[in-house]
């Protein structure tokens, strides 16, 4: 009883039951990983800039005045849960569960992604109310270069989910649509990884050294 | 059919384990800050290690990166990107920290 007979790309493999989609997915998924890793390098640069800018507050508001840890905690839980629901959607896809189940898990993921964005935008607005705007200091420029970049990725993921929902309705469960779902799931898990970096370095690091 | 649902159950358990451990690590992180404050280096070191542990948990349980021979190339891709990243971040922090010191600016 060995799990997953064919494992040819990182992430959840669809396996033999989706032979067509599996083949179509193999090459593009590797390419998508290359994209994710280059995106990771981009995020890494922004992290590097942030770390060097922590002290450059120019007398403006700093982490202790601006960061709301309760909201960050809620956002962390929401994003983590959405990572689980996207995984459950992939399993429903892999094991040929009724299509309604797949759509349900994707819909829950979309809902969680949107609530994450609402909380994040509320945070930015309350930061701006306290004078924490990007042009105030190097620290704030670096902050707004990094954290909303992640939020933009989440927003893109939400748009992607909606588009996939429409494609699923119009085109049905074709190999192409299935292979796009696989990549969306990878993208979504990747965003949660970046978020862990953000809470560790941007929020807790900022509060410790800022 | 039975084997099918057995595999399904096992894979779902992997995701739930990953979720549970990530949840615990997140709670540990915020609890550390709540109880010990966030002023000292020791507290921040703990938080950093908890964050690193959660990254590894999610890579293994959600993204299925492991040392299985068939996915070795992809592990190489991830490891190489990490190396590039460490050079970029480490180099940036080192050089700019050194510059700040020589310019007599406060160093983090």
Q: How confident is the model at residue B54 (pLDDT cuts 50, 70, 90)?
A: very high
Dihedral angle computed from the Cα positions of residues A65, A132, A159 and B51, in that order, rounded to the nearest 10 degrees: -40
Q: B1 and B35 in one domain?
A: yes
Domain count, chain A: 1
pLDDT tens string A143-200: 999 999 999 999 999 999 999 999 999 998 888 899 999 999 999 999 999 999 999 9
Partner residue opposite A34 with nearest CB, options B64, B77, B89: B77
- Residue B60's CB is within 10 A of a number of other CB atoms, namely 16
Q: B54 and B7 in one domain?
A: yes
Question: Is B55 within 8 Å of A196 (Cβ atoms)?
Answer: yes
- Per-residue tokens: A3: 């799990």
Instruction: Report chain B's mean pLDDT, rounded to a whole number.
Output: 86
Residue A182: its chain B contacts at CB < 8 A? none
The CATH code of the domain that includes A179 is 1.20.120.80
Chain B: give the shortest CA distance to residue A116, in Å. 16
Q: B49 and B3 in one domain?
A: yes
Q: B59 and B15 in one domain?
A: yes
pLDDT tens string A27-84: 888 889 999 999 999 999 999 999 999 988 888 899 999 999 999 999 999 999 999 9
- Per-residue tokens: A82: 């959405």
Q: B56 and B19 in one domain?
A: yes
Domain count, chain B: 2
Phi-psi map region of A97: left, alpha, beta (phi>0 left; psi -120 to 50 alpha): beta
Q: What is the pLDDT of residue A2?
A: 40
> What ipTM was assigned to the predicted interfaces of this complex?
0.89
Task: Provide the domain limits for residue B80.
Answer: 68-108
Q: Which of A5, A83, A139 to mutate to test the interface with B (most CBs of B within 10 A)?
A: A83
- List, in order, residues 6 or more apart from A162 with CB less than 8 Å away: A110
Q: How confident is the model at residue B97 (pLDDT cuts 50, 70, 90)?
A: confident
The reply to whether residue B71 touches residue A10, judged by beta carbons under 8 angstroms, is yes
Residue with token string 């969680």 = A112
CA distance A205 to B100: 19
**Please, is B8 exposed, middle or buried when counting C-beta atoms within 10 Å of its C-beta (0-12, 13-18, 19+)?**
middle
CA distance B54 to B24: 9
Q: B56 and B79 in one domain?
A: no
């Amino acid at each position: 009883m060995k799990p997953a007979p064919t494992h040819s790309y990182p992430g959840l493999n669809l396996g033999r039951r989706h032979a067509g989609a599996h083949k179509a997915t193999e090459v593009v998924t590797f390419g998508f990983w290359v994209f994710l890793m280059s995106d990771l390098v981009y995020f890494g640069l922004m992290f590097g800039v942030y770390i060097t800018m922590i002290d450059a507050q120019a007398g403006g508001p700093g982490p202790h005045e601006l960061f709301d840890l309760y909201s960050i905690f809620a956002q962390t839980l929401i994003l983590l849960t959405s990572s689980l629901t996207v995984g459950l959607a992939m399993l429903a896809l892999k094991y040929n569960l009724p299509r309604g189940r797949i759509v349900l898990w994707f819909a829950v993921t979309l809902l969680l992604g949107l609530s994450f964005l609402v909380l994040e935008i509320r945070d930015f607005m309350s930061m701006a109310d306290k004078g924490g705007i990007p042009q105030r200091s190097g620290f704030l420029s670096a902050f707004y270069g990094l954290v909303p970049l992640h939020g933009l990725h989440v927003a893109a993921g939400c748009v992607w989910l909606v588009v996939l929902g429409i494609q699923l309705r119009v085109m049905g469960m074709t190999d192409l649509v299935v292979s796009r779902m696989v990549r969306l799931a990878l993208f979504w898990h990747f965003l949660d990884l970046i978020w862990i970096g953000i809470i560790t370095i941007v929020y807790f690091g900022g509060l410790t050294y800022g | 059919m039975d084997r099918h649902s057995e595999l399904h159950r096992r894979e779902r358990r992997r995701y739930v384990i990953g979720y549970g451990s990530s949840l615990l690590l997140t709670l540990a992180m915020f609890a550390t800050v709540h109880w010990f404050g966030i002023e000292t280096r020791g507290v921040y070191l703990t938080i950093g290690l908890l964050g690193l542990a959660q990254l590894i948990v999610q890579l293994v349980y959600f993204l299925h990166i492991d040392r299985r021979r068939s996915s070795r190339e992809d592990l190489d891709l991830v490891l190489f990107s990490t190396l590039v990243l460490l050079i970029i971040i480490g180099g940036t922090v080192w050089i700019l920290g050194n510059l700040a010191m020589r310019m007599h600016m406060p160093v983090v």
